Structure 1
């Protein structure tokens, strides 16, 4: 006769071990958990008709600079930040606004506000690409500005080079596209303001090649023009890469 299999009984020691494992998981990954490395990169939603957006394309290495269209900036209407939508939107529908999505992507050792479902970044560490310095981020009215989210191609620059003719939806997509966003040193971002590469480059010269490549790739992806001086600066930097 075949032997009957003995049914496994859940013993007290097994129950204790299971509870310990669950408690450890909650501690590490619960609402106030810590991610030991930079947050996972996230992708923007697929561009809808008329919205447009580079997605991963803006991260392309060695964009074809010959495709850039040169034109002096100009628009029939003055630049207005509100024309690019609310800052910041939840464009990917994950429940977090774009600012926090970028902080999660670019910072290491991220901790979240306990009531935010792993969304609102409370603290973290940024290795700033613009200055090559390490910055401790602490959320607060007097401390949050130490780390700011930079539009690699500034919104006002985009307005002057083609975005003034876009739909509001396309401008909102551009303003929240992670391919055009970086968490950076606050003072460096303020110094850059709305400048192109001819007027401002990252103080950390080792980031120059990546910066001009990203700037050019965003222009190409959104079919924006570039000023003659900015193209000269991009080409000059790219020649040494």
Structure 2
């Protein structure tokens, strides 16, 4: 089988938007505290554009912090799910490589799990263009820490069947790409924020299945893998409740 392209994987979420919205993990309050600390300003009253907003998991949390937030999302399915979940939050179609925003018009540009889908030779200058002086670019990813035995075992099983674990694959890769800033004007500070959530086994499996590496390999292969994975997890978690642990990999840069 030909390896799925980057574009195929980026577009794969549109058909699974409802699954994504219902099962993907959120982000902890400590993440937004840390962004405010590094940016030197609060979200309250700030003009924020959340790029690659998806179904609005991060966008809604930014709104909850008091931000005046606008979502930007390229995908049909994801944008439709966003509007269903968050009818009171404005959303426009577009992507980080060509932001549909005026120059020097926002205080924060944020990317939750989305920067790696952009081309930084375009998205980095675009972020700088739309930010006001003293504004901040914040990028973050939920990544799976490989110091927890069951996470290690699952990652190995996924790699044998499909390639790198979809969340492990992001461990450091998105941040490394951002740190090779093509503009030379982004001085990022990097932090890790660990958190966890307890979810039913079926929620964990649906979360896993909503990642692009499963979506692009087709229903038959993914269903077979997840059925087998359920048995492995029941052996490790007999009560059927999974504790997923995440390290949020955060990068923040401010403009002068």
TM tier relative to shorter chain: under 0.3
Structure with the greater relative contact order (CA < 8 A, sep ≥ 6): 1 or 2? 1
- Flag the structure with higher strand content: 2
Which has the larger Rg? 1
Question: What is the TM-score when the length of structure 2 is the normalising length?
Answer: 0.26
Question: What is the TM-score when the length of structure 1 is the normalising length?
Answer: 0.27
